[in-house]
Amino acid sequence: MAHSLDAYLVLSGLLFAIGTFGFLARRNAISMLMSIELMINAVNLTILAFGAFLPALKDHASVIALIVVAVAAAEATVGLAIVIAIYRNRRTPLVDEYDAMRQ
């Protein structure tokens, strides 16, 4: 099982779906950002699984995954800063209470 590409791909699909559910369903903005991190990790797992099993992608996969991690770190920094800035104005982390443009 550990030596089949399909097992890793199904596993990362499962992780991606969990992240999707969390992003769509949670009310807390930080929970949504954590779900995005789960989805990014699922993508990284896919990249590395392809790199391990397809000879043409052998070392390229690790490099691409490293770059994805750096971009994800930048995304987390800016995303959390935005959440903190909104919290300072609205006094709540719940996204369904950010309705200023609807009133």
Partner 1 sequence: MSIPETIPIIGASWDDVLFVLFAVAMVGSALLVVTLRDIIRSGVAMIASFAALAGLYVLLGSPIMAATQVLVYIGAISILVLFAIMLTQTKAGPARLVFQTQWWAAAIAAVAIVIVLTAVVVSTDWGAGPPQESATSDVARLLFDAYTLPFEAVSVLLLAAIIGGIFLAKRDPSRDEAGR
Site for partner 1 in 17-56 (CB under 8 A): 17-31, 33-35, 37-38, 41, 44-45, 48-55
Q: Which amino acid is at 77?
A: T
Q: What is the dihedral of CA 74, 79, 84, 89, to 10 degrees?
A: 140
101 counts as binding partner 1 under rule CB under 8 A: no
Nearer to partner 1, 1 or 101 (CB): 1
- By beta-carbon proximity to partner 1, the closer residue of 54 and 102 is 54
**92 burial type by CB count under 10 A (0-12 exposed, 13-18 middle, 19+ buried):** middle
| Stretch 68-87 residues interacting with partner 1 (CB under 8 A) | 69-78, 80-85, 87
Q: Residue 60 Cβ, how far from partner 1 at the closest point, in Å? A: 7
- Residue 37 has φ and ψ, to the nearest 5°, of -60, -40
